[in-house]
């Protein structure tokens, strides 16, 4: 995951990308239904950098964990020596998949190869992979089996950047570099290994690194078409092109939630926000600045109310453990989702917009969900312009589905009496069902 030194530049690059709809392919080429209905997924950044945990030879490495090799300008031989140290004996693929499942997440997105070039799968294209480590087991295969068991859709991250490959590494910039050779004879063969069926059904390929000067939109189109020919059902994110020539099936703002709608993005357009749980994507042992369950849940609601997905990151340790700071929060998120998931999954953007007391999601024309952040007084009023010709069938708390709330219509307005005490201080959800 890219993080520029100047925060403003990050915002301009990604918001600029977001403001542009994908130029290629044409909208409607892919069926994005499963993704738009899933709403919530897990992002996992894991690799050699996880061993470093944000430090090298006793000194803290500035910036995000997965950029350690470049941020600290580490000697190539010393970084590559980490391969012989990578032995995540505490890694349990099933536990990772179950953690995602229990949190209410419908898909799991894992870094198969990040910018450092190390592959977490058994690749015949390179020896710089998991099979050269003491672990000697295909991480992606193990996750594929675990995800299948727990009904979590497996998705794969693949970095365009490769600091290890001589033809594209920033450490070997000269006229002898052959960018096309890397794309045709390294990148595409690796993608074929991942997508040809050995890893089962892959829901999505998530690319990163489009900012590299050597990467072109034509390369992006070539890779997009290559994957489409292998499997036309695989969804591809928007980072195969350039900021003014977006290539992909949906939009991926990073660490921010865009205002919806805009002049270029409508409620039915497909997008996701990718978000860290602390300040880094890859593991850093000194980063304990965890977002609270309240912040994560309300962020998920905010995004769903605007029609998007939340893909939330965890950065496991070099031993293969998801940090306790992440799992503790995810357990509480999962408890809320167990009760209120119906108000998230399969919903679309609110036709009403933001309310002073909270947010709204809808399921077709039949259901509206009121997510109450700021508990009002006894009575709550809401205009039903979008449903003015429909009769209200029921109004109930999702936490107490058998208990109907008193409600009545006054013209176009729906009024309802609320319980005297707030049922859920993070977000109380009320379902309004129409006939």
pLDDT in tens, 164-206: 999 999 988 888 899 999 999 999 999 999 999 999 999 999 9
Assess whether pLDDT exceeds 90 at residue 137: yes
pLDDT tens string 5-47: 333 333 334 444 444 566 677 766 789 999 999 999 999 999 9
Which CATH homologous superfamily contains domain 358-434?
Golgi alpha-mannosidase II (2.60.40.1180)
Distance CA 109, CA 113 (A): 12
The DSSP symbol for 61 reads P
> What whole-number distance in Å separates Cα of residue 79 and Cα of residue 434?
60
User: Residue 150: pLDDT above 60?
Assistant: yes
Task: List all residues 6 or more positions away from 248 whose beta carbon is below 8 Å from its beta carbon.
Answer: 22, 24, 207, 224, 236, 237, 238, 239, 240, 241
SS3 338: helix
Mean pLDDT rounded to a whole number for the chain: 92
Q: What is the three-class DSSP state of 265?
A: coil
* Sheet of 428-434, strands arranged across: 358-363, 367-372, 428-434, 392-397, 400-404
State the greatest distance between any 2 C-alpha atoms of the chain, in Å, as a whole number. Answer: 75
Q: Which two tokens stand for residue 222?
A: 């070539």
Q: Is 91 helix (H, G, I), strand (E, B) or coil?
A: coil
pLDDT of 350 > 50? The answer is yes
The answer, yes or no, to whether residue 210 has pLDDT greater than 60, is yes
The phi, psi pair for 389, rounded to 5°, reads -100, 5
Q: What confidence tens digit (pLDDT) does each residue in 366-421 have? A: 999 999 999 877 889 999 998 988 999 999 999 999 999 999 999 999 999 999 89
CATH number attached to the domain at 7-343? 3.20.20.80
| pLDDT tens sequence across 109-126 | 999 999 999 999 999 999
pLDDT for 254 beyond 90: yes
Question: Count of CB atoms within 10 A of residue 106's CB?
Answer: 22
- Tabulate helix, strand, coil % of the chain (nearest 5): 30, 25, 45
At residue 261, does pLDDT exceed 70? no
What SS3 state is found at 395? strand
Q: How far is CA 309 from CA 37, 41, 108, 275, in A?
A: 9, 8, 13, 11
Which helix (H) or strand (E) covers residue 111, if one does?
strand 107-113
**pLDDT band for position 268 (cuts 50, 70, 90):** confident
Q: Where in the chain are all domains bearing CATH 3.20.20.80?
A: 7-343
In terms of Cα–Cα distance, which of 383, 318, 303 is closest to 120? Answer: 318
Residue pointed to by tokens 């009403």: 352
| Average pLDDT over every residue of 203-222 | 97
Mean pLDDT, residues 85-100 taken together: 98
Torsion angle of the four alpha carbons 47, 48, 51, 54, in this order, in degrees rounded to the nearest 10: -90
Preceding omega of 214 cis (within 30 degrees of 0): no
* SS3 at position 260: coil
Q: Is 134 helix (H, G, I), strand (E, B) or coil?
A: coil
> Could you give the residue range(s) of every CATH 2.60.40.1180 domain in the chain?
358-434
Helices (H), 23-170: 33-38, 49-52, 68-71, 76-80, 93-102, 139-149
Angle at 244 between CA 302 and CA 15, to 5 degrees: 25
Instruction: Write down the pLDDT at residue 13.
Output: 40
Average pLDDT for residues 276-297, to the nearest whole number?
98
pLDDT tens column, 238-251: 999 998 888 999 99
Q: How confident is the model at residue 345 (pLDDT cuts 50, 70, 90)?
A: very high
| Both tokens assigned to 235 | 């969804």
264 vs 206, which has greater pLDDT?
Answer: 206
């Amino acid at each position: 995951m890219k993080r520029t030194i100047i925060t403003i530049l990050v915002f301009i690059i990604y918001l600029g990308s977001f403001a542009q709809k994908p130029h290629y392919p044409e909208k409607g080429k892919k069926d994005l239904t499963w993704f738009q209905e899933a709403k919530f997924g897990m992002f996992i950044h894991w690799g050699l950098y996880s061993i470093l945990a944000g430090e090298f030879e006793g000194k803290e490495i500035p910036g995000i964990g997965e950029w350690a090799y470049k941020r600290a300008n580490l000697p190539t031989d010393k970084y590559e020596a980490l391969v012989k140290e990578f032995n995540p004996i505490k890694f349990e693929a099933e536990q990772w998949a179950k953690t995602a499942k229990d949190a209410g997440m419908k898909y799991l997105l894992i870094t198969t190869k990040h910018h450092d070039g190390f592959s977490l799968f058994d690749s015949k294209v390179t020896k710089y992979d998991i099979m050269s480590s003491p672990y000697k087991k295909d991480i992606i295969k193990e996750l594929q089996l675990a995800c299948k068991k727990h009904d979590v859709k497996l998705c794969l991250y693949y970095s365009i950047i490769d600091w290890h490959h001589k033809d594209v590494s920033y450490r070997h910039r000269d006229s002898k570099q052959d960018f096309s050779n890397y794309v045709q004879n390294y990148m595409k063969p690796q993608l074929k290994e991942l997508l040809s069926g050995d890893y089962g059904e892959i829901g999505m390929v998530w690319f990163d690194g489009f900012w590299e000067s050597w990467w072109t939109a034509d390369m992006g189109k070539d890779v997009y078409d290559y994957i489409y020919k292998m499997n036309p059902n695989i969804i591809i994110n928007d980072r195969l092109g350039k900021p003014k020539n977006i290539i992909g099936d949906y939009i991926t703002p990073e660490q921010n939630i865009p205002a919806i709608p805009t002049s270029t993005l409508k409620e039915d357009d497909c997008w996701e926000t990718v978000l860290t749980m602390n300040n880094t994507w890859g593991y850093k042992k000194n980063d304990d600045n965890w977002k609270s369950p309240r912040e994560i849940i309300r962020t998920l609601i905010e995004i769903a109310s605007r029609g998007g997905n939340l893909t939330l990151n965890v950065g496991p340790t070099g031993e293969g453990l998801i940090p306790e700071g992440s799992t503790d929060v995810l357990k509480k998120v999962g408890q809320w989702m167990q009760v209120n998931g119906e108000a998230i999954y399969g919903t679309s953007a609110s036709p009403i917009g933001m309310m002073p007391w909270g947010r709204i999601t809808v399921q077709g024309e039949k259901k509206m969900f009121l997510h109450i952040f700021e508990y009002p007084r006894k009575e709550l009023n809401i205009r039903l312009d979008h449903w003015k010709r429909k009769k209200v069938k029921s109004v109930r708390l999702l936490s107490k589905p058998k208990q109907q709330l008193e409600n009545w219509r006054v013209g176009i307005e729906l009024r309802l009496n609320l319980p005297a005490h707030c049922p859920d201080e993070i977000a109380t959800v009320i379902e309004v069902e129409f006939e």
